[in-house]
Structure 1
Amino acid sequence: MGEIMKYLVLVSHGGFAEGLKTSLAMFAEDKIDQVIAVGLENGKSVDDFAVVFREAISGLTADDSVLVLADIVGGSPLTTACNVLAEVGKLDDATILGGMNLPMAVNSLVMKDVLEGSDLVSTVLGEASSALQEFVIASDDDEDDDEI
């Protein structure tokens, strides 16, 4: 019997989830086999997405759990993913977060096996929020003013 796994599941509109997975591989190559990414492709129906998503999670065992990151809470990729997770008995112990970005995904992948429940949620969301900031480049003029 294999070890119990917690998978990071990325769902999005379009290719965002798959693109995020390729970026994640640059930060946590050793854990990338624990990442499942599925996007609702343009022109495809939610039923199409459900079929693809069901296949993507078909390797999960009875004891495995999921941490789901979605681009938009309430969007059809997430609601459809939740329906499929419910069908296979994986929704009750799932943790689901919306508004995914790269820092959030990196943190989720690294911390999912270290923290549980609200500790995991607060850590991951805290990192995602603090990553949102303006990058201000100081000009030479500003530096001159400081020296007066």
Structure 2
Amino acid sequence: MKYLLLVSHGGFAEGLKTSLAMFVGEKSERVLAIGLKDGESSTNFGKRFKESLSKFSTDDTFVVLGDIIGGSPLTTVCNLLAESGRADSLILGGMNLPLAINVVLQMDDLPAAKLAEIAITEGRNALKRMELTASDDDDEDEEI
């Protein structure tokens, strides 16, 4: 089975999982979240992740979304996945809600390369600048 693994500093991964469940329903049961706690060592974080990983079959695969590429949580998870024979995991950094939704909804249907391509495009498209404009509606009400 394929799982989505959210990895972050602090509670970001857990919060994203909660929000993700609002959009993907039952598929959220295949989403795991782990965050490096404030003041926690990378070693202890690794032990917690390794314990979680032991609950899965060696046939299970992972798509990993991390908050920061090169950060200790994602680096630790990558190292432990490789040590456990799961070096074929798809790993992406810069997670956000639209990216996670797309991954969960498509991870069973697409090969890793295509999923990565679509996920990166969707993640980039989620970042846009919004312009706020002053409303003239208030001025019109004063003329009445």
Q: What TM-score comes out, normalization by structure 2 length? A: 0.89
State the Cα RMSD in Å. 1.2
Equivalent residue in structure 1 for 2:114, among 95, 114, 119? 119
Equivalent residue in structure 1 for 2:75, among 79, 87, 98? 79
Could you say which residue in structure 2 is the equivalent of 1:128?
123
The answer on 1:67 being equivalent to 2:63 is: yes
Equivalent residue in structure 2 for 1:54, among 36, 39, 50? 50
Could you say which residue in structure 1 is the equivalent of 2:140?
none
The answer on 1:30 being equivalent to 2:26 is: yes
> 2: CA distance between counterparts of 1:59 and 1:135?
43
Equivalent residue in structure 1 for 2:102, among 98, 107, 119? 107
> 1: CA distance between counterparts of 2:113 and 2:100?
17
The answer on 1:45 being equivalent to 2:38 is: no
Runs (5+) with no aligned partner, structure 1? 142-148
Q: What TM-score comes out, normalization by structure 1 length? A: 0.87
Could you give the per-residue CA deviations for residues 3-34 of structure 1, whole angstroms, max 9, x where no partner exists?
A: xx111001011111111000111011211111
Letter in 1 for 2:52: A
Contact (CA 8 Å) 1:7, 1:65: kept in 2 or not? yes
Could you say which residue in structure 2 is the equivalent of 1:145?
none
Q: How many residues were matched structurally?
A: 136
User: Identity of counterpart residues, as a percentage?
Assistant: 51
Contact (CA 8 Å) 1:36, 1:57: kept in 2 or not? no
